[in-house]
Amino acid sequence: MKCTIKQLAEELGLSRNTVAKALKNSSDVSDKTKQIVLAKAKELNYKKLDPDTLSQLPKQEEIPESPVTNGSILFLTRTYATDSEFWTTVLTGIESILSAAHYHLVIGIMSESDLKKLEFPNAIEDPSIKGIIMVEICDETVCNALLKYGLPIVTVDMPKKYTSAMEHIDVITMENKRNVYTIVSQMIEKGSKKFAFIGDLYSANVGRGFQERYEALCECLSDHHLEIEQACCLLHETSEDFRDFQFVIKKIQDMPYLPDVFICGNDWTAIQLIYALQALGYQIPRDVSIVGFDGIPASERIVPSLTTIYTPKKYLGIAAARQMLERIQYPDSPKVYSEYSTQLFIRDSTK
């Protein structure tokens, strides 16, 4: 009887994602893990194991009978994979480190309702869970609730305001201000004068990233003796709101005018804005320029391609996983705040 990837993963105590990558000879998985997976796949007659894959197998005596597992790390996020190319890339970096260190990765995706009710995945109660890595969860109440489980926590991004909870959590984040200031300065020099910001600054789960990007815009405008166009800003609208296409259309129609430039909190929001503006007959960047943040793959695919500020998503994940391993080994060491640089990519959505 032939087995599946799911059965292989269960047999080895590894995630299905790690097993799939090992079978594809991905560089994200260590050679030792690949050998273990391939040997078990041959043993269980995995249905898609081809001759080229089998040729990668080392001699039988070189393969340990079973992988060493040090426990599991819970990866918590709030966004669905269909909506976020950000956290899936961060996840790739995390898994590349944890799988090599023989930790199993457990993924928990929380809805807005789960967050409000503090209903965490059942896996958090499992004794095998040794730590939590959070992405796109910045609610202070959620952070405090997670700390009660007594597990080390590493977060990518952090709450908008520094809270007492952050004294017990390691932070891996990106530099948010410098390149926003740079692109706004460049566009002012090219003649743009009216700037607005699109991005949620007020809901409970807002991260410091959006806040700092907004602050960078305001600081640059002030330095050039300009003011932000408040009548064209959308600061209270959440990502849930932006999933409603007609809602975004109506918000644009309600604006008294269009600014010269929309600076958006992230690429996903910028892309929804572009679709809505195009549906209303506007041409980008002739009528209005759009700038995003994150550098997700869709930012390059959309027409016009999106000017964005690229964040090293995979390396944020690598850093988060390495910090988790460090925290497990040295639980009493000082808490870490690590900030990674970003890069400006100018594309067709700006004049």
Neighbouring residues of 50: CB distance < 8 A, sequence distance ≥ 6: none
CA dihedral 216, 220, 223, 228 (to 10 degrees): -100
pLDDT of residue 44 exceeding 90: no
Instruction: Report d(CA 99, CA 80) in Å as an integer.
Output: 23
Instruction: Report d(CA 265, CA 308) in Å as an integer.
Output: 10
Give the CA angle between residues 141, 107, 84 to the nearest 5°. Answer: 80
Q: Domain 178-311, what architecture?
A: 3-Layer(aba) Sandwich (3.40)
What was the pLDDT predicted at 15?
66
pLDDT of residue 68 exceeding 70: no
Alpha helices in 102-149 (DSSP H): 112-117, 140-147
User: Could you say which DSSP state residue 120 is in?
Assistant: -
Asked whether the beta carbons of 136 and 129 are under 8 A apart, the reply is no
* Residue bearing the bigger pLDDT, 326 or 108: 326
The 10s digit of each residue's pLDDT in 290-327 is: 999 999 999 999 999 999 999 999 999 999 999 999 99
Asked whether the beta carbons of 150 and 314 are under 8 A apart, the reply is no
Lowest-confidence segment of 10-24, 44-58, 109-123 by average pLDDT: 44-58
What was the pLDDT predicted at 176?
97
Mean pLDDT across the stretch 130-147? Answer: 93
Query: What ranges make up the beta strands (E) of 87-210?
Result: 104-109, 129-135, 153-156, 170-174, 195-198
Shortest CA distance to 294 belongs to which of 120, 167, 66, 135? 135
**How many Å from the N-terminal Cα to the C-terminal Cα in the chain?**
61
What was the pLDDT predicted at 12?
61
How many angstroms from the chain centroid is the CA of residue 301? 19
Mean pLDDT across the stretch 69-82? Answer: 80
The 10s digit of each residue's pLDDT in 143-197 is: 999 999 999 999 998 888 888 888 999 999 999 999 999 999 999 999 999 999 9
Residue 99's pLDDT band, with cuts at 50, 70 and 90, is: very high
Record the pTM.
0.78
Asked whether the beta carbons of 143 and 76 are under 8 A apart, the reply is no
Asked whether the beta carbons of 154 and 317 are under 8 A apart, the reply is no
* Residue bearing the bigger pLDDT, 16 or 167: 167
Whole-number average pLDDT of the chain = 88
Helix, strand, or coil (residue 317): helix
Residue 66's pLDDT band, with cuts at 50, 70 and 90, is: very low
The 10s digit of each residue's pLDDT in 219-270 is: 999 999 999 999 999 999 988 899 899 999 999 999 999 999 999 999 999 9
* Residue bearing the bigger pLDDT, 65 or 225: 225
What was the pLDDT predicted at 64?
43
Neighbouring residues of 107: CB distance < 8 A, sequence distance ≥ 6: 15, 75, 77, 91
> Considering the domain 74-173+320-335 in this protein, what is its CATH number?
3.40.50.2300
Q: Within the chain, which residue ranges are assigned CATH 3.40.50.2300?
A: 74-173+320-335, 178-311
